[in-house]
Structure 1
C-alpha cells in the first residue's frame, strides 16, 4: 500500500500523533504518517531505550515515543537554540509535547550530538540510536563519521533515515532533488551555514561512512519510503532555491566563477523543472531512504 493511501487505523494513529505536535492540533497528518512509516521499518519495540540525534521540533520524537510505549524512553538531542525554528521554536514545540501524554517518555537535551555522547562515556548502552532526516544538518561528512564512530559503541543498532536523492520515474520529486543540490553547492561557500541543507550525503555515501565507523549494515534493512502528497518538504526547499535572496547569497559568498556557474546552472534546472511540473503547488517530495546498522560489541 502506498503511504499516500492511509488506512482508517493508520490515519487514526497519525491524527493522534499530529494533534500532540508542537505545531498545534492536527498540524500535519501526512507528516506524522510519514514519520510513522519510517519507524515501521526499524526494530523499535515497546520498552526500548532510544537515543534520537537531531530531533528538531519533535516530529519523529513523538512517533518514537509512541513506539517505545509507557515502559520505554527517548532521549532527544538537538544542538539548535531553543528560540530557533518556525512556525514554532524548538523550545515552544518541546514544551507543547512535554505537556501532553507522551511527555513523560521524552527527555529533551540541547547539545551538539558528539559533545553529548562524549560527555557521557559511561552511560548505559542504548537499544537504538536514530538519525531521522538530521544528517544534512551536520557541518561536514567528517563530523558525521566521528559521530557514527561513537554511536557504534553506544547503541546496539543505529537507524538512519535521509532523503534518497531519487524518486519514481516521472515523479515531481525531481524538482526537490535539484533544489537541495543547488542549495548544497552554494552553502559550502558560507563560513557558517544555517540552512536545512548544509552537507548533502547520499545513501551510498552514508553507507560508506557507516562502514568506516565500524557499523554493519543489517541485511535487507534498506528501503525507500514515499511521502504522502501532504508532505511539503520538496515545495519548501524549492521555494528557498528560487527566491531572489538565493542569487544574492551566491554573489556574496561564492568567489570562484566556475563554481558560481555550476550553482546558477543548478538553479536554472530547478526553475525549468518547476515549470514542467506545473508550478510550486505541484512540486512533490523525493523518496526517503531508511537503513539499520548493527553496532559493535
Structure 2
C-alpha cells in the first residue's frame, strides 16, 4: 500500500500553515458546501462519526452538535498545524470532538467502530484512494454510511478558475496537470468516484451535484486569500515578483462578482454517499 508522504509534507508545511492562519475566512467560504453534505448524511443523536480530513475542526464541531452528548466525533487529519487550531477551539467546548493526527488511508482505528463517516474536501488527496476507502469501510459498522463533498471540475468553479485565468497571461508556461493525481479536483469525474467506492466494497452509491454561491469576505479579503490559497497561490510562491502585476488583474476579475455581501462566486461540488452493506 502506498503512503501519502508527499501530501503529509505539503499539509504540514506551506498548505497547513496557510489554512490554519486563514481558518475563519476559509470556513466561512466552505461551510455552505459542507452543510449540503451533512444534510445528506443526517447524523443522529448517539452516533459515532468519523470526520475525515477535518482540518481546523469546523465540520467536526457541527457533527458533534448533531450527535449530541450521547454520541461522539473523531476528527482525523494529517496536518498538525490545522489540528492545533482544532484542538485550541475544542478547549472552549464542553462537548468537543476528539482530534487525532493520522492518515485515513492507513490508520487503524478499530473495525466496525463508527456509524458514519463524513468529509468536506478531505478525501481527494489519497495516493491510493481505493485502499483508503476500503480502510474507511473497515472502520464502519455493518450498515454504516459515508458522505463526502468533493469538487466538480475547475471549469465549473469560478471561485478558483477566474483568478487563475485572469492572471494566466502574466504567468510562466504552466505544465499539464494529471487529473487523477491527488489534489482538489482528483474526484471531479463522477464515474471515477463511483468506481473507487465500488472497488472498495461500498454499495448504494449516489453522486448528486450541488451548486451555490460562496464567499470569504470583501474584495480586499478575497484578493488576499486568492494569493495564499489555490492554484494561483502555488504559482506565485514560485514567482513572487509577479504578485504585484497579478494582483491588479485579479482584482479586476473579482470585482465582477462583488455584491452587498462581499465577493460571491459560483461553486460546484458532488455530494457523494455510500453504504457499508
Specify the TM-score bucket, using the shorter chain as the normaliser: 0.5 to 0.7
| Residues 1:213 and 1:247: Cα distance change in structure 2 (over 3 Å) | farther
Equivalent residue for 2:114, pick from 126, 130, 155? 126
Which of 123, 127, 130 does residue 135 from structure 1 map onto? 123
Distance 1:184 1:73 in 2: 43
Residue 292, structure 1, aligned to residue 273, structure 2: yes
Cα distance, 1:247–1:211 mapped onto 2, change above 3 Å: farther
Q: In the aligned structure 2, how far is the partner of 1:70 from the partner of 1:134?
A: 25
Give distance in 2, aligned partners of 1:108 and 1:184.
Answer: 36
- Within 5 Å, give how 1:191-270 maps onto structure 2: 197=183, 200-204=186-190, 205-218=192-205, 222-230=208-216, 235=226, 236-243=229-236, 245=238
* Partner SS state of residue 145, structure 1: helix
- Aligned equivalents of 1:109 and 1:48: distance in 2? 18
Query: May I ask how many residue pairs the two structures share in their alignment?
Result: 231
Contact 1:176 1:283 in 2 (8 A): no
Question: Does residue 1:185 correspond to 2:177, yes or no?
Answer: yes
Match of 1:148 in 2: 133
Q: Match of 2:153?
A: 165
Query: Within 5 Å, which residues of 2 pair with 1:78-89?
Result: 78-80=77-79, 82=80, 84=81, 89=82
C-alpha distance in structure 2 between counterparts of 1:184 and 1:71, whole Å: 49
Q: CA offsets per residue over residues 47-81 of structure 1, 9 Å max, x none?
A: 2110112111112112111221222111111122x
Tell me the residue number matched to 2:100. 109
Contact 2:48 2:71 in 1 (8 A): yes
Q: Which runs of 5+ in 2 are unaligned?
A: 1-19, 168-173, 242-247
Taking structure 1 as reference, are residues 245 and 42 closer, same or farther at Cα in structure 2, changes over 3 Å only? Answer: same
Q: Under a length normalisation based on structure 1, what TM-score does the superposition of the two structures give?
A: 0.61
Map of 2:35 onto structure 1: 36
SS in 2 for 1:100: coil
> C-alpha distance in 2, partners of 1:151/1:137?
14
Q: Structure 2 length normalisation: TM-score?
A: 0.65
CA displacement, residues 61-119 of structure 1 (integer Å, 9 cap, x when unaligned): 12111221222111111122x2x3xxxx431332222322441xx11111121332xx3
Residues 50 and 118 in structure 2, CA contact (< 8 A), matched pair in contact too: yes
Corresponding residue SS for 1:114: coil
The 8 Å contact of residues 23 and 93 in structure 1, kept in 2 or not, is answered as no
Q: Which residue of 2 aligns with 1:265?
A: none
Cα pair 2:163 2:250 within 8 Å, conserved = no
| Contact preservation (8 Å) 2:41, 2:147 | yes
- In the TM superposition, 1:56-75 aligns within 5 A as 56-75=55-74
Compared CA separation, residues 125 and 26, structure 1 to 2 (3 A): same
| Aligned-residue CA RMSD (Å) | 4.3
Unmatched runs of 5 consecutive residues or more in structure 1: 1-20, 249-270
State the distance in 2 between where 1:286 and 1:217 align: 26
Does the 8 Å CA contact 1:46/1:68 hold for their aligned counterparts? yes
